[in-house]
Every structure is written in C-alpha cells, then in structure tokens.
Amino acid sequence: MIWKCTDKNIEYGDKPLVMGIVNVTPDSFSDGGDHFTPEAAVEYALKLVENGADILDFGAQSTRPWGYTEISPIEEMDRLEPVISKVRAQTDVPISIDTYFPVVALNTIEWGANIINDVSGVITEKMAKVVRNNQAGWIIMHNGAGGVDEVHKFFDESINKCKALGIDKSQICFDMGIGFGKERVQDLALISRISDYKPDGYPLLLGTSRKRVIGEYGGESVPKNRDYGNIAADTAAILGGADIIRLHNVKAEKQGIDMAYAIKKMQSKG
C-alpha cells in the first residue's frame, strides 16, 4: 500500500516504518534544548537516518501537557527553515513537520517537507487546502479525552470530512493521540486494541515515545529512561497493526521494532 506525500510514495502495510523525532525546541518534555540550534538539529537528524529512520519528524513547537509557551507561526518558521533546507539538501528521506499552523505547513513544504503532522485534532479548510494543493501527506490525530469508541468515531468522521474537502484518501494517515488529553488507562487501551479502531486502507501511526503512559506503567519518572518500556508498547502496537512508530531513540528501539515485525510475520504463517 502507498501513502502519497508530495513527490514521495511511502510504502506501508508490511514492515513497520520508523519515524525519528527531531525537536527544534528548548522546552519539549523529553529532549528540549538538546538539538535547539540549527547545527545540532541537522546533525542529529542525519544521525537518525544513519540509525535507520525511514521518516524524519521535525517540531519547533512544544506540545507537552504543561509548562510550555506557545510560539507564533513566524517564530516556528524561523526555527525550522535553516534546519529543513539543510537536511533536505543532504538526504532524500521523507520529512514530516509537526505543526498545526497552515502557514507553517505551506512554507515548510516549499522548503522540502512532504508530510504535515497535525496534532490539533481539528480538520480545517485552511490546512486541508495546503494539503490538497501540494499533494502532501497529512497525519490526522485524535486530540482529547476518549477511548477506543471515541477514536473510532473520530477516524470515521475525519474520512468523510477529508472526502468532502477533496483530500485523496491516499494522502491520509491516522494517529490515535496517545497522551493528548487522555487518561493513562485510555492510552493503554488504545495501544492494546488497535485492531478495533484502525480504519482499513489507511496507515496508522503510534506516538508513545517516552510519554506518561510509559512512565506510569513502566515505573520510570525520567522521560529519557523510558525507551525500554517503549519497546514493549511498540511491540504490542505492531502486533495489533500499527504501520508507523514515532520515537526518539531510533538506534535502540529499531531493534525492538524489527523483532516485533519478525514475530508478526511468524504469526501470519500460522
């Protein structure tokens, strides 16, 4: 199956894809400030590709649950432009932009991005226009409280809205929104019951990397120390049908993802 993202045709549906996170921020919950300068962000992004990332996801706006200050679209673009342009010049790996501002989406696509990772949880005509006119990939995330039934309903409604706005279904990817307004038990249910709400014919992205659900059930308060718990969540999600795993520690977690894929392939052989 193909996920169409500007000039990239991303194959999915068999081996899970790895999306590496590059936070160009001073205040992200896990690694804020580690790659805040353009030079550090570019170096880190290329390292993620070397370690096996299939997609790079850049964010210049922290979306942590607390303790952050929203920045303007202009500041977001100021952080992203020197990074995206340089990374695109050095690798052909698909680039995703974590933003909910249509103007940021438009400009970053012009700089070489292929995917808009929209965490707003709202399908707007302005963002839809950017996606439609540029044939970009669009990750649509459920944002807010809700369990399996609510997420299933949101995905179904989103499919209908996108159709009405002229978005080709091959451009759409879904994300259940782990950690965004949900209780930890809801997060856990969503990870464990993917097959109950994943829409047929659309890629599904899992984004649990170092989040509170891993900290609570894995007993680890420090986000950077949650990679081991993440591998367990990744494995459950892959066996349930997740197509893309968004994560921080590509080198360590790719080993777990590859093992989970091997197990899934063996299960399919009966």
Q: How many domains does the chain have?
A: 1
Write out the two tokens for 59.
């964010």
Residue 129 annotated in active site: no
Nearest alpha-carbon partner for 97 in 89, 109, 85: 109
Plot region of 70 (φ>0 → left; ψ -120 to 50 → alpha; else → beta): beta
CATH of the domain at 37: 3.20.20.20
User: What type of residue is 206?
Assistant: L
H-state helical runs in the chain: 38-50, 73-90, 102-111, 125-134, 148-164, 184-192, 212-218, 227-240, 250-268
Q: What pTM, to 2 d.p., does this model score?
A: 0.93
Q: Give the pLDDT score at 26.
A: 76
Annotated catalytic residue within 8, 182, 246, 254:
246
Residue 246 annotated in active site: yes
Annotated catalytic residue within 211, 212, 226, 254:
211
Reported as a single tens digit per residue, the pLDDT across 109-151 is: 999 999 999 999 999 999 999 999 999 999 999 999 999 999 9
Reported as a single tens digit per residue, the pLDDT across 62-111 is: 765 555 678 899 999 999 999 999 999 999 999 999 999 999 999 999 99
End-to-end CA distance of the chain: 23
Mean pLDDT of the chain: 93
Reported as a single tens digit per residue, the pLDDT across 17-36 is: 999 999 998 755 455 556 66
Nearest alpha-carbon partner for 190 in 206, 172, 203: 206
- The domain in which residue 218 lies consists of 3-7+14-268
Reported as a single tens digit per residue, the pLDDT across 188-197 is: 999 999 999 9
Reported as a single tens digit per residue, the pLDDT across 227-252 is: 999 999 999 999 999 999 999 999 99
Distance, CA of 153 to CA of 168 (rounded, Å): 20
Share of the chain above pLDDT 70, in %: 94
SS3 call for 70: coil
